[in-house]
């Protein structure tokens, strides 16, 4: 598919990079994020880069996500994978501790 395309970055407080995406219309995409993203209210600034083709924008988006690790991107973002793994480990540890306390009779429903 040919035609111009935009790569946008959403930033939060202290210029924290929240999200990177591409769109034929960043304004329309921003409206979609407003209705579909739990992090929309965190956006304080948006930057836009124009590309002559969608293919160039797609390549730039992938590169930017891999290198810049935006907080809410899932695809191409190893940071998300690491955070998911950390949460899974924390949950497993918590459940292990809960199980150990239960076996010792130190855990009850009231101690939650």
d(CA 109, CA 106): 10
> In the β-sheet with 2-11, what is the strand arrangement from edge to edge?
17-23, 2-11, 45-53
**pTM of the entire predicted model:** 0.66
pLDDT in tens, 28-51: 888 888 888 888 999 999 999 999
| pLDDT value at residue 93 | 77
Distance CA 87, CA 89 (A): 5
The tokens for 51 are: 């590309």
The model's pLDDT over 77-105, given as tens digits with 9 standing for 90+, comes to: 776 666 667 766 777 777 777 666 666 66
The answer on pLDDT for 59 being more than 90 is: yes
């Amino acid at each position: 598919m040919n035609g111009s395309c935009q790569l946008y970055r959403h930033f939060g407080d202290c210029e924290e990079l929240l999200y990177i995406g591409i769109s034929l219309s960043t304004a329309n995409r921003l409206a979609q994020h407003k209705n579909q993203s739990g992090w929309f209210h965190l956006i304080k600034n948006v930057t836009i880069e124009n590309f002559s083709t969608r293919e160039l924008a797609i390549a730039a988006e992938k590169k930017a996500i891999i290198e810049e690790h935006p907080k809410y991107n899932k695809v191409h973002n190893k940071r998300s994978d690491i955070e998911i793994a950390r949460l899974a480990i924390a949950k497993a540890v918590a459940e292990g501790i809960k199980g150990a306390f239960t076996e010792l009779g130190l855990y009850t429903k009231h101690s939650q």
